[in-house]
Amino acid sequence: MAKEKWWKSSVVYQIYPRSFCDSNGDGIGDINGIRSKLWYLEALGIDVIWLSPVYPSPNADNGYDISDYYGISAEYGTMDDMKALIHECENRGIKIMMDLVVNHTSDEHFWFMEAKRSKDNPYRDYYIWKKGVKDNPPNKMESCFGGNAWEYSEETGEYYLHFYHKKQPDLNWENENVRREIWNMMNYWIDLGIGGFRMDVIDVIGKVPDKEIKENGPKLHAYLQEMNRETFGGKNLMTVGECWGADTESGKLYSDPDRNELDMIFQFEQMSVDQIQGGQKWDLKPFALTALKEAFAKWQKALEKKGWNSLFWNSHDLPRIVSRWGNDKEYRVESAKMLATVLHGMKGTPYIYQGEEIGMTNYPFAGIEDFFDVESVNMYRERKQSGYKEEDIMKSLCAKSRDNARTPMQWNSSREAGFTEGIPWCRVNPNYREINAEKALEDKNSIFYYYRELIRLRKEEPVLVHGTFEMLCPDDENIFAYRREWNGKKWLIVCNFFEEPAVFHYPARGRVILSNYRQESVIRLEQITLRPYEAVICELI
Ligand code: NOJ
């Protein structure tokens, strides 16, 4: 058998640099701050850092609007700091996965500044331009941050496309020169020694605006194959594509190793189960565990033989999982561990978002003035104009705003949670005295050490990496249980997703591998009553 890919038994930790650790007191996290915390990541045991963008950016979308792909934003440090980070990570056995944001640039990128000047500028065709229809935009395509996706540009009297903020014009991937520039840039970073790329909204690069096609355009996979050939192919890096619009069929296209595209995708079906179908993420619907299980099981099965899943609850775009589907009050610790168990027991590469490993919670927003994120602010304005009630808007924002995940990392109980010695760019969650890394490290029963165990198990137990997946009791509304099997080893993962005790039956006994409650070393599963948010991983005997 060919040597297994290293990323199959790896765990990724996402750093949102702005909010991770500030080393120079300007209130903004930075690269040297990250360097000062590598010991912490090593103690947790992770293998890869997914570093959200650190490139120069006007920050219309916190760094996802890049004005120079070859540089480092001064607020984050220098290229020398970045090189030192890569090097120091390497010494600790940690790889850096860079965020590759190439569906769009910033409107302050040199290419766009040139492109907008005239219709015959050599960079014009790097972007997507169209004439309006009378006084209206070319068509009805919408921006993910609200409003029409076309912005009028005075200089030439045409509109340009932006699927996100108007300061994030979409690149024209049809243009070979654009692709060549991107391959060159990727190779530059590969040569610097990075371990891979996380590709921002990669499923929309094959857009066909004339036909209003956004995701999964006809040339998407050809572009990815070309990218693979021209950049990371055969170099043992890790690549993951962020795909909001993927289904299991396209998931296979992206991640089937024989197709030479990406290693895995980051898709969101399981994270959309509490949203009204056809609506936006703000259109809340009550959570049903059965729907969550169905989504996970579908993807586990679809990519079982070919392809690979990413496993995640959180990112800088999602609310904190313990507040969302756990209990961030009296069962915060139990429910955070339970959620971790559900996720880390499955097949795929797990991702941890900074602070998840200590059970950080959503922020207690009081009003619209507490929000920073462009998506949240735009949504508030639009829904106000359309006549939504303030109370309903706030309910959606509190539940789903990206700002929930972006508050500073809580390191200790000193001022500003030890994140900065200055004034933080965004408010620290007031619960930092209770919830912080220092406290977690002092408590052997903390969420942190539980995550560390899960990470260790992934490295040591091939059944977690390669085992088959079988969902148990899919219709049970309270219990999330499944079986993994590999080379005769059978593991059962059983979790009570709620506060009320729940009964589970399985005709076997289990040797307990890990649990968030004290357990006998062998438990009878014929009839077991699970306590609030109880989670058990056991080997069937
Ligand atoms: C997805 C990123 O994760 C998100 O934060 C960003 O706003 C959009 N892509 C646009 O780059």
- 150's CB contacts (< 8 A; 6+ apart) are 130, 132, 137, 138, 139, 141, 159, 160, 161, 162
Cα of 53 vs centre of ligand 1, distance in Å, is 10
Residue 355 to residue 440: CA distance in whole angstroms: 11
Atom 2 (ligand 1): residue with closest C-alpha? 200
- Note every long-range contact of 483-488, with CB atoms under 8 Å and residues 24 or more positions apart, other chains counting: 483/540, 484/345, 484/347, 486/462, 487/462, 487/463
Q: Are 476 and 500 in contact (CB under 8 A)?
A: no
Ligand 1 pocket (Cβ < 6 Å) reads 61, 64, 101, 164, 200-201, 242, 316-317
Domains and CATH numbers, the chain: 8-103+179-368+406-452 (3.20.20.80), 110-161 (3.90.400.10), 369-400 (no CATH), 465-540 (2.60.40.1180)
- 326's CB contacts (< 8 A; 6+ apart) are 332, 335, 336, 338, 339, 533
Cα of 316 vs centre of ligand 1, distance in Å, is 9
Q: Are 470 and 508 in contact (CB under 8 A)?
A: no
Q: Are 12 and 349 in contact (CB under 8 A)?
A: yes
Q: Can you tell me whether residue 269 is helix, strand or coil?
A: helix
- Note every long-range contact of 126-129, with CB atoms under 8 Å and residues 24 or more positions apart, other chains counting: 126/171, 126/172, 126/175, 126/177, 126/178, 127/160, 127/161, 127/169, 127/170, 127/171, 127/172, 128/160, 128/161, 128/169, 128/170, 128/172, 128/207, 128/209, 129/153, 129/156, 129/158, 129/159, 129/160, 129/161
Question: Which is the closest atom of ligand 1 to the Cα of 163?
Answer: 10
CB 524: neighbour CB atoms within 10 A?
Answer: 11
Q: Can you tell me whether residue 221 is helix, strand or coil?
A: helix
Closest CA to 371 of 353, 393, 397: 397
DSSP 415: G
Q: Tens-digit pLDDT profile for the chain (541 aa)?
A: 457 899 999 999 999 999 999 999 999 999 999 999 999 999 999 999 999 999 999 999 999 999 999 999 999 999 999 999 999 999 999 999 999 999 999 999 999 999 999 999 999 999 999 999 999 999 999 999 999 999 999 999 999 999 999 999 999 999 999 999 999 999 999 999 999 999 999 999 999 999 999 999 999 999 999 999 999 999 999 999 999 989 999 999 999 999 999 999 999 999 999 999 999 999 999 999 999 999 999 999 999 999 999 999 999 999 999 999 999 999 999 999 999 999 999 999 999 999 999 999 999 999 999 999 999 999 999 999 999 999 999 999 999 999 999 999 999 999 999 999 999 999 999 999 999 999 999 999 999 999 999 999 999 999 999 999 999 999 999 999 999 999 999 999 999 999 999 999 999 999 999 999 999 999 999 999 999 999 999 999 9
Tell me the Ramachandran region of residue 474: left when phi exceeds 0, alpha when psi lies from -120 to 50, beta otherwise.
alpha
Taking only Cα atoms into account, the Rg of the chain, rounded to an integer number of angstroms, comes to: 23
Question: Which is the closest atom of ligand 1 to the Cα of 402?
Answer: 5
Closest CA to 217 of 173, 178, 164: 173
Mutate to test the pocket of ligand 1, among 317, 400, 402, 404 (most ligand atoms within 8 A of CB): 317
Angle (CA) 260 266 267, round 5°: 115
Residue 92 to residue 9: CA distance in whole angstroms: 17
Closest CA to 432 of 359, 368, 372: 359
Cα of 371 vs centre of ligand 1, distance in Å, is 17
- Structure tokens that stand for 391 in this block: 């109370």
Mutate to test the pocket of ligand 1, among 62, 64, 204 (most ligand atoms within 8 A of CB): 64
The amino acid present at 471, given as its one-letter code, is M
Cα of 375 vs centre of ligand 1, distance in Å, is 10
Residue 13 to residue 334: CA distance in whole angstroms: 21
Catalytic residues: 200, 242
Q: What's the pLDDT at 2?
A: 59
Q: What is the pTM of this model?
A: 0.98
Q: What's the pLDDT at 3?
A: 78
Residue 53 to residue 522: CA distance in whole angstroms: 47
The amino acid present at 255, given as its one-letter code, is S
Q: What's the pLDDT at 86?
A: 98
* Rounded (10°) CA dihedral 429, 432, 437, 441: -150
